[in-house]
Structure 1
Amino acid sequence: MNVEVFGDKDFIESVHSSNGIWILMAGKAIYMLEAENGNALPVWVLKDSAQKFAYGLRDHKLSPIFVPLSNFVGAAWLGAESEKFGEVLASPTHGRVPLVYSVSELRAKLKT
């Protein structure tokens, strides 16, 4: 069983070593969760972890999609404060509280 449980440093290092993240999509729609301050984008370092999360939702229309790190920190995702989402959830799993980053905080950590 491959489960991602990360501290901040581990998550950032894993994103850098994999050179990107995985998100879930349903067709052309990005899967997001409602958060206190708007929408939150869940991301994973491992494709299997994203698939397990989707399976736990029993939503078989969700597919993991890889986003290269250079694209993720670019204008389309983290390059400017996104109106689409205000937070990023690092490797969420069912029954555990994920690391939560603001868009600007994660952008700064990934650029270092």
Structure 2
Amino acid sequence: MNVEVFGDRDFIKSAHSSDGIWVLMAGRAVYMLAAENENALPVWVLKESAQKFAENLKGKNLSPVFVPLSNFVGSAWLGTESAEFAEVLAAPVHGRAPLVYSVSELRAKLKT
């Protein structure tokens, strides 16, 4: 079993080394979690970790989808002010608190 447990530096380094992240999707809809007043986007650097998270969400019909880092920090995801999410949850695992980034914070860290 592969479990991601990351600190900030490890997550950013892993995202750069894999040149992308994994998100969960149901068809064309991106899976998001409800955060305080906005949505949060969960992301993983390992497909297996995203798949395991999805398996624990029975009945959602979610599949991991790879997003190249250049696209993720670009206008379609983190590069727009009108994003449908305010936070990004890095490598969430059921029962553990994930790293939480604001969109602008993660964009700045991934661009360096």
- Tell me whether the two structures share a fold, i.e. TM-score over 0.5: yes
Aligned pair in 2 of structure 1 residues 60, 37: CA closer, same or farther (>3 Å)? closer
Give the aligned partner of residue 31 of structure 1: 31
Distance 2:79 2:31 in 1: 19
Give the aligned partner of residue 12 of structure 2: 12
Give the superposition deviation at 1:81. 2.5
Give the aligned partner of residue 77 of structure 1: 77
Partners of 2:77 and 2:83 within 8 A in 1? no
Structure 1 alignment gaps of length 5 or more:
none
Structure 2 alignment gaps of length 5 or more:
none
Distance 1:60 1:84 in 2: 19
Query: What is the TM-score with the length of structure 2 in the denominator?
Result: 0.97
**1:65 partnered with 2:65:** yes
Q: Say which SS state the counterpart of residue 48 (structure 2) adopts.
A: helix
The Cα RMSD (Å) is 0.9
Q: Structure 1: which 4+ aligned runs deviate by more than 4 Å?
A: none
Q: Say which SS state the counterpart of residue 97 (structure 2) adopts.
A: coil
Distance 1:21 1:54 in 2: 15
Query: What is the TM-score with the length of structure 1 in the denominator?
Result: 0.97
Give the superposition deviation at 1:57. 1.1
Distance 2:31 2:73 in 1: 18
Q: How many residues align?
A: 112
Counterpart code for 1:39: N
Counterpart code for 2:67: V
Q: Say which SS state the counterpart of residue 107 (structure 1) adopts.
A: helix
Distance 1:26 1:59 in 2: 11
Give the aligned partner of residue 2 of structure 1: 2
**1:103 partnered with 2:103:** yes
Distance 1:2 1:83 in 2: 30
